[in-house]
Amino acid sequence: MTANDAPNDAAPGPATGKTARDPWDLPDVSDLTIGVLGGTGDQGRGLAYRFSRAGHRVIIGSRSAERAREVAADELLAGTGVEGDDNAGCARRSDVVIVAVPWGGHAATLTALREELTGKLVVDCVNPLGFDKKGAYPLRPEEGSAAEQAAALLPDSRVTAAFHHLSAVLLCDPGVAEIPIDVMVLGEARADCEIVQALASRIPGMRGVFAGRLRNAHQVEALVANLISVNRRYRAHAGVRLTDV
Ligand SMILES: NC(=O)c1ccc[n+]([C@@H]2O[C@H](COP(=O)([O-])OP(=O)(O)OC[C@H]3O[C@@H](n4cnc5c(N)ncnc54)[C@H](OP(=O)(O)O)[C@@H]3O)[C@@H](O)[C@H]2O)c1
């Protein structure tokens, strides 16, 4: 096991004489190119907009390269430098690839991109939800969660999960300068989680907080059903703040 694979939520072991590293000491990620699969949707466009505003090169992906280029030139993204490509080109040309397709297209999209995503840092933000007359409710993927499905389908990628609780409405509103929210980041490798935490922290108001291994992704994805209930009752775009960290 390398330092990068070491659990970051393990109980402290016997004293080693080493000074514990500051968990907020995160890497410089400013030169990373970010791709967004399904980047023509509200969540993907919103993330693309925020990361381009933070100075990143961003490529949005689509099942149609033409649609991606159209959306990259739309009212929100025009002038930001965001590029459009098909999902395969987006995955190939990016260092970090955010998955922002609907749950219904998740498995097929990732299966088709296994080669392009080899070695890439993949960030899954997909929330498997159902809707009925009582509102939103979480679905239970066979693998445990969307993130674990991604990890099972992409054994040669570095799969993490984050950005589940962000409101696309806020992300896509140019009048919103800061989004005060904690982004719960899950994954198996410390270095990968820290890259995603650092990326989240590039967006004004946000903090990326490590929140466990992928086996704990289900409840993070499922919490969105509660946030949707909150939003409906209070006409809000609620997010999550973690206290005492
Ligand atoms: N909306 C939010 O506030 C929010 C917040 C947090 C997380 N999320 C998660 O982010 C994901 C995207 O949300 P969204 O609201 O942006 O969804 P969306 O607009 O319905 O879909 C995003 C894009 O995915 C592509 N797509 C649609 N069906 C597909 C399929 N069967 N296979 C592959 N690609 C397909 C479409 O792009 P092309 O037609 O151009 O390929 C579409 O523009 C969801 O999994 C959601 O749970 C959303």
Contacts of 226 (CB under 8 A, 6+ apart): none
Query: Which pLDDT score is estimated for 20?
Result: 82
* 190 within ligand 1 shell (Cβ under 6 A): no
Measured CA to CA, the distance from residue 66 to residue 44 in angstroms comes to 16
**Burial class of residue 178, CB neighbours in 10 A (0-12, 13-18, 19+):** exposed
* 166 within ligand 1 shell (Cβ under 6 A): yes
* 145 within ligand 1 shell (Cβ under 6 A): no
Query: Which pLDDT score is estimated for 188?
Result: 98
* 102 within ligand 1 shell (Cβ under 6 A): yes
Which residue positions in the chain have pLDDT lower than 70?
A: 1-17
Query: Which pLDDT score is estimated for 1?
Result: 42
Query: Which pLDDT score is estimated for 138?
Result: 98
Kindly give the number of the ligand 1 atom that is closest to the alpha carbon of 68: 40
Name residue 124's beta-bridge partners. 99, 161
Kindly give the number of the ligand 1 atom that is closest to the alpha carbon of 129: 47
Query: Which pLDDT score is estimated for 17?
Result: 65
Regarding pTM above 0.85, the answer is yes
Strands 158-161 and 121-124: what pairing? parallel
Kindly give the number of the ligand 1 atom that is closest to the alpha carbon of 71: 40
Measured CA to CA, the distance from residue 119 to residue 170 in angstroms comes to 31
pLDDT tens, position by position, 63-98:
999 999 999 999 999 999 999 999 999 999 999 999
Q: Whose CA is nearest to atom 26 of ligand 1?
A: 101
* 29 within ligand 1 shell (Cβ under 6 A): no
* 109 within ligand 1 shell (Cβ under 6 A): yes
Q: Whose CA is nearest to atom 21 of ligand 1?
A: 41
Q: Name the residue of 101, 163, 171, 203 to mutate for ligand 1: max ligand atoms within 8 A of Cβ.
A: 101
Contacts of 216 (CB under 8 A, 6+ apart): 186
* Tokens 């955010």 belong to residue: 98
* 135 within ligand 1 shell (Cβ under 6 A): no
Q: Name the residue of 43, 166, 228 to mutate for ligand 1: max ligand atoms within 8 A of Cβ.
A: 43
Q: Whose CA is nearest to atom 6 of ligand 1?
A: 164
Domains of the chain and CATH, by start? 30-234 (3.40.50.720)
**Residue 64 tokens, joined:** 């149609």
Query: Which pLDDT score is estimated for 27?
Result: 97
